[in-house]
Amino acid sequence: MVVLVAGGSGQLGQSLQFIAPNYPEIAFHFYGSSELDITDLENCDAIFSQLKPDFCINAAAYTAVDKAESEPEKAHLINVVGAKNLAEACKKHDTILVHISTDFVFDGNASKPYTEEAVPNPTGVYGQTKLNGEKAIQDIVDNYFIIRTSWVYSQFGTNFMKTMLRLASERDSVSVVSDQIGTPTNAVDLAEAVVEIIKHTENLKSDLSNLTSLYGIYHFSNEGQCSWYDFAKKIFEVNNISINLQPIPTSAYPTPAERPTYSVLGKSKIKSVFGVEVRDWEESLRKI
């Protein structure tokens, strides 16, 4: 089984690289943005022609949520045109697309976990471009998986956990927003869930009717919910860091992009369809 990973140097891309040796039956091929620029259709086509992948994981994205407010064209190019190009290449080369999307497609006004059927209503440029990317894919191919996730962290790249650890090394006190609720996702858990989906799908390839019913949108994060403040508290606890941590309201930490107040993703579908086991967020944080 040949699997192409676009965005191979990002946080999820590196997490996939980290777990790849556990799956010797899969030939992973990781591409950074300099080798595979998803905004360039000819570049995508050339790589697909050469590799003939069974699956393409799109871990590439414009992820600078606040910067997107002042760079909407760039966010659109990567998150919409890039997703569209990969879908076109997948269609041409008979490749199954696994695309990663976000909880930021929702407005955060819910009070119970968002199902895959919940109506998206992004509040910022990043969320809107990610939603438009989902739609572009759905317009081009039927054989796709869109995995929406939230609050991704890992030992790789830039993320909230690493920012908290850096701040703790620089300061005696940190203030963190306590009125936005969501669920952290260990990027390695996400990578494993993606690979489980791929393996399951590969096993069903001979049974097309069964396979067709699997395609669509899925939600994946760790289990449970917390505020960013709770998340920071647990990060410091797990790392034995003693620091003055203060909860603050969103209003005390204004950002260019509005964040959803509540963005917990319901994971019943991925659990029941693929048997994916979802670890509790605190347990997963302790693993790091």
List, by residue number, the catalytic residues: 126
Residues 189/222, Cβ–Cβ less than 8 Å: yes
How distant, in Å, are the alpha carbons of 6, 78, 142 from that of 83? Answer: 10, 7, 14
Least spacing, CB of residue 240 vs ligand NDP, in Å: 25
Least spacing, CB of residue 54 vs ligand NDP, in Å: 20
CA distance 262 to 7: 28
CA distance 255 to 171: 21
Residue closer to ligand NDP by CB (options 6, 285) is 6
Least spacing, CB of residue 237 vs ligand NDP, in Å: 21
- In the complex, which residue's CB is closest to ligand NDP? 10
Residue closer to ligand NDP by CB (options 126, 274) is 126
Report the interhelical angle of 160-170 vs 228-238 (nearest 10°): 60
239: Cα separation from own chain's centroid: 25
Residues 103/148, Cβ–Cβ less than 8 Å: yes
Least spacing, CB of residue 119 vs ligand NDP, in Å: 19
Least spacing, CB of residue 271 vs ligand NDP, in Å: 19
Residues that bind ligand NDP (CB under 6 A): 6-7, 9-13, 32-33, 36-39, 59-61, 63, 78, 82, 100, 102-103, 130, 149-152, 157
Residue closer to ligand NDP by CB (options 71, 204) is 71
Q: What is the pairing mode between strands 55-58 and 185-186? A: unpaired
Residue closer to ligand NDP by CB (options 4, 168) is 4
Q: End-to-end alpha-carbon separation of the chain, Å?
A: 29
66 Cβ neighbours under 8 A, 6+ residues apart: 255, 256, 257
Residue closer to ligand NDP by CB (options 72, 211) is 72
